[in-house]
Amino acid sequence: MGTQTFQFKQFTIHHDRCAMKVGTDGVLLGAWCNVPTTGNILDIGTGTGIIALMVAQRTSNLQVSIDAIEIDKNAYLQAEENIQLSPWGDRIHAINLSLQEYAQISDIRYDYIVSNPPFFNNTLPPQDIYRQTARHTLSLTYEELLSNAVQLIKPDGHISIIYPADQDTRLSRIAVKNGLWISRKVWIKGKPDALPKRVLIEWGKAPVDYTEETLIIETAPLTYTPEYIALTRDFYMKM
């Protein structure tokens, strides 16, 4: 494995032209999201295409079509490259548009929407404009993400994202404002004694009973928990 590629069990991610490289957040969401067995899935801000490819792997024997939108031209081209080199190039369609633009022109209503959105809105933006677009909520705020996603999902569809744990109260308010209800929620902790770092969440348009869970990644450096291994073993080479 070189620095410009990341090898998964069934596909390879090239990320030399992408501001955001392969990271744990995307893998967690791609492995955890509760993808449907039929219909259409939308990946918002696909980056390298990693989540779209993970979803495609998980639905290899199913009638599922995946659209992957990406605002940055270089990232879009990289995602298209990764998709075409994968076994699922006929089921994933990369689109070089912002979510705001796409929501205005799309006549598709999705069964499931997934996104690993930009989130460092409270920190100093990096100097690199491409990393700034990928990492910061300057081009896509949480409000814009959810309001546009709600327009694109079916009445019984669902939206899953991953976000920093310290943004939970804010995201909850935005979700309620957009008529979304929690259906699944997991707090992510790096180690047993650490505070939650991320939240995996799934929303739908109707209230349901749900439980909150906690997933711990490691008990010691490179000593992964059985739960994390079970979640990611179909993807990581060494799990």
- pLDDT, residue 135, reads 40
Instruction: For residue 52, give the nearest of 75, 143, 157 by alpha carbon.
Output: 75
- pLDDT, residue 139, reads 66
- pLDDT, residue 19, reads 80
- pLDDT, residue 140, reads 86
Question: Residue 170: in which H helix or E strand, if any?
Answer: helix 168-177
Question: pLDDT tens digits, the chain, 239 residues: what are they?
Answer: 447 999 999 999 999 988 888 999 999 999 999 999 999 999 999 999 999 999 999 999 889 999 999 999 999 999 999 999 999 999 999 999 999 999 999 999 999 999 999 874 444 344 444 444 444 345 689 999 999 999 999 999 999 999 999 999 999 999 999 999 999 999 999 999 999 999 999 999 999 999 899 999 999 999 999 999 999 999 999 88
Q: What are phi and psi of 100, to 5 degrees?
A: -60, -45
- pLDDT, residue 20, reads 80
**DSSP assignments along 200-215, one per residue:** EEEEESS-----EEEE
Give the neighbor-by-neighbor strand order of the sheet with 153-164: 92-95, 63-69, 38-44, 110-115, 153-164, 198-204, 181-189, 212-216
- pLDDT, residue 121, reads 43
Q: How far is 61 from 51, CA to CA, in rounded Å?
A: 17
pTM summary value: 0.91
Retrieve residue 29's tokens: 């969401």
- pLDDT, residue 136, reads 37
| pLDDT, tens digit, 9 for 90 and up, residues 41-75 | 999 999 999 999 999 999 998 899 999 999 999 99
- pLDDT, residue 1, reads 40
